[in-house]
Amino acid sequence: MSQIVVLNAGGQYCHLIARRIRDMGVYTEIKEIDTPWEALAGVRGIIISGGPHSVYAPASPTMDRRLFSLGVPILGICYGHQLLAQVLGGKVTPGEVKEYGLAHLAVQQRETILEGLDACETVWMSHSDVVETPPPAFKVLASTPDCPVAAMANPQARIYGLQFHPEVVHTVSGQQILRNFVFTICRCQSDWDPKQTIPRLLATIREKGERKKVFFLISGGVDSTVAFTLCVKALGGDRVVGLYVDTGFMRQGETEMLQETFRRLGILDSVHILDASAEFIAALHGVYEPEEKRVRIGRKFLEVQERSLQQIYQPGEEWLVGQGTIYPDTIESGGSAHAAVIKTHHNRVDIVQELMQQGKILEPLVEFYKDEVREIGLQLGLPPAIVWRHPFPGPGLAIRCLCSREEAPLRFPADLSSLCQTYGMEGALAPLKTVGVQGDYRSYTDLVLISGQGSLEKLEDVSTDITNTIPTVNRVAYLVQARQGKRLRDMRVIRAEVTRARLDLLRQADRMVNEFLQEHDWQSRIWQCPVVLLPLRIEVGESIALRPVSSLDGMTAEYAKLPGPLVIQLAHRLLTLPGIDAVFYDVTNKPPATIEWE
């Protein structure tokens, strides 16, 4: 029996809660929020996760209210906090201001769950509703300027609520809060050893792959390389075949580098390399929407894989399809009962879902986050150059190459202009859709561009103010430099789709950025730096957006604040590329923006 059970209300960070507690050495399971109360008998504590719904909406997820009779400690986080307030007699209402990202918590009562915290703490928020009035017998423990009941408790009943997310690394004392709940309040004992991960994984692979062969899609990134290596280690090289597909969406020199990597790992003979770039690029002809791009790429992967499998198939053999899927892929694809779809990852398209239902998919890493996968890779003895590679999306540069169905000018709405003017800046709305995650829901909104004087630190205040005040915005990018000193009013969006010429331009810019970061010792100091091509024109070219971020697991992120002179130097270098008119810097955290723009 798990000591702690997390009831999943569909939150983006639900699995992360369980992972954080397992890291403390306490086994934790996730169950659906409507799990019957008798199935929870014997647990030492219950946590109700966040979710994308409003507790006062009809048919919103709720728990079996009889679980209160168990008499065990209960902690509600975000949606769970609001749900506890609602069902126990408090009041939940829409907030006047939506909070996404960093917030400053004023701690009024440092006891039990908040024991050991400072009077002012930095926490991570992602919500639009608030607890206006706590239930009877509850007291307010902490607040923020926009959230009067950011933490509440009924210590006698051992029921607690937190509007912020202690499970994400950006909540500075989050791990201390969870430790307070798990060890001080629930009195759990250590019973889980994370170091036994690899033996457990190998045993699982052998059980599922018994008397079968595995056909594995390899991208060359850390996830697929670690998963492929685990399968070879568990089943033997004669039962595992790898397929690396050059989609035409890869980085410059990627295929050649991966061939050398596979050779060094001694697995090149088990890997088939296929150039399918022409058919992948053709599949995106006339496609402009990010979700449609991802779905078409995912389906094309499966088509190519099926064709390749037919070439090596022998009668009587039973095959599984292996993938390097990690947990964030599943949750962003709406991988639980009440979760919203943020974006469909290529390894979660409809064909893959059908194969999963048939039991034909093998995903050794589906319960793990990027930092855990890297630790597994190091334990397997993989080269650091592979283990510490920046994350690169399965659809590749295709989703970093933004498209537009038609030409259009930038807009300068009054509310945005007024807000930007308070910071001495100019703001414009570009009709280019980007993906975000706000309150555990996917958002798909126009891009805000800002210009003016300001440090990257100051721009965080501007960006947060814009995304919290204007609900139709999830991403803000700052103009670093443009040809001939042009301004936002000189720019326009042009019609564009994914073409080989645009991909080649983006490849050049991407390589230039990564070499520059390596040269100035920033490559190893950030989580990743997506380079995005925008159909945003001044003269005859397009624009580049830089998206360097800091993160631990990819579930949340802060935009990385590189030194200003370094950013200007990089912009100078990018503007030497024919076809680049301007350089922008993404100054949005996750949430409200996803790391990738599409």
Residue 34 to residue 7: CA distance in whole angstroms: 8
Residue 446 to residue 477: CA distance in whole angstroms: 11
Closest CA to 320 of 308, 309, 335: 309
Torsion angle defined by CA atoms of residues 251, 334, 240 and 319, in that order, rounded to the nearest 10 degrees: -130
Q: Look at strands 319-322 and 361-362 and give their pairing.
A: parallel
Q: Which of 127, 165, 338, 346 is catalytic?
A: 165
DSSP 389-452: PPP--TTGGGGGB--BSS-EE-B--HHHHHHHHTTT-EEEEEEEEEEEEETTEEEEEEEEEEES
Is 38 catalytic? The answer is no
Torsion angle defined by CA atoms of residues 371, 589, 102 and 53, in that order, rounded to the nearest 10 degrees: -90
Residue 520 to residue 516: CA distance in whole angstroms: 6
Is 167 catalytic? The answer is yes
- SS3 assignment, position 331: helix
Residue 312 to residue 546: CA distance in whole angstroms: 42
DSSP 442-504: EEEEEEEEEESS--HHHHHHHHHHHHHH-TT---EEEEEEEGGG--GGG-EE--B---HHHHH
Dihedral sign (CA 302, 306, 312, 318): positive
Q: Which of 167, 332, 426, 598 is catalytic?
A: 167
235: alpha, beta or left? (left if phi > 0; alpha if psi -120 to 50): alpha
Residue 342 to residue 328: CA distance in whole angstroms: 11
Is 520 catalytic? The answer is no
CA of 22: how far to CAs of 2, 123, 166, 182, in Å? 11, 21, 15, 11
Q: Which of 14, 53, 78, 367 is catalytic?
A: 78
Residues belonging to the active site: 78, 165, 167
